[in-house]
Structure 1
Amino acid sequence: MTQSTTVTVMILDKEYCIACPAEARSNLENSARYLDSKMREIRATGKVIGSERVAVMAALNITHELLQKQQFFDQQTGASREQIRDMLERVDQALGSNPD
């Protein structure tokens, strides 16, 4: 069983204590820094007022980025599979035409 530790992160000038496994600490800190930067970007535009609204907008933006990257990855994976299928067919044809 992994041991949890408490990690303190700052997001939009507020301190949050979060329990996480020791091996996930670096990822948590990086995530908090990323979220903090996104929230600061949104707040700096002056179009969104209130921490809660800024957090929701940041969550929507981050989710949008994630879904775009996931869609791109899925497209790349599909294209790679197609290329591999084509190569395997060529190999099968080349081996099938060999009398050995």
Structure 2
Amino acid sequence: MSEEHRPVSVVIMEKEYVVACNDQEREALFHSVEFLNRTMIELRDHGKVSGSERIAVMAALNIAHDLLEHKRQNEVYTNNVDAFMRRIEKKITDVLAGGERVLA
């Protein structure tokens, strides 16, 4: 597989764009284009937004909002897992040190 970026043609809302992409990123690019195209068409078809530029901006805002929400949820999950791991580690340390009997 090549690290060289090659031009790749994609279509978003019936308009063709050429972007540079290496072989390793090609599949992810096509999935991204498919997702963006679907999002923009939904905005256009549901009559919420008109005009390609406004549709693109609204799609970008929606996608950015979803991304930030997933990051926030992931951070909460990570913090919960970290706290759980610290509790488990303390229980293990207590047991190995001959401390109190640990109950689940």
Regions of 4+ moved over 3 Å? none
User: Where in structure 1 are there 5+ consecutive unaligned residues?
Assistant: none
Partner of 1:19: 20
CA RMSD of aligned residues (A): 1.2
Instruction: Specify the code of the residue in structure 2 equivalent to 1:46.
Output: G
**Partner Cα separation in structure 2 for residue 77 and residue 47 of structure 1:** 36
TM-score by length of 2: 0.90
Partner of 1:66: 67
Aligned length: 98
TM-score by length of 1: 0.94
Identity across matched positions, percent? 37
**Partner Cα separation in structure 1 for residue 35 and residue 64 of structure 2:** 13
Deviation sequence 1:24-83 (CA, Å, 0-9, x none)? 000011100100000001001212110000000000000011011111110000000000
Partner of 1:50: 51
Partner of 2:34: 33
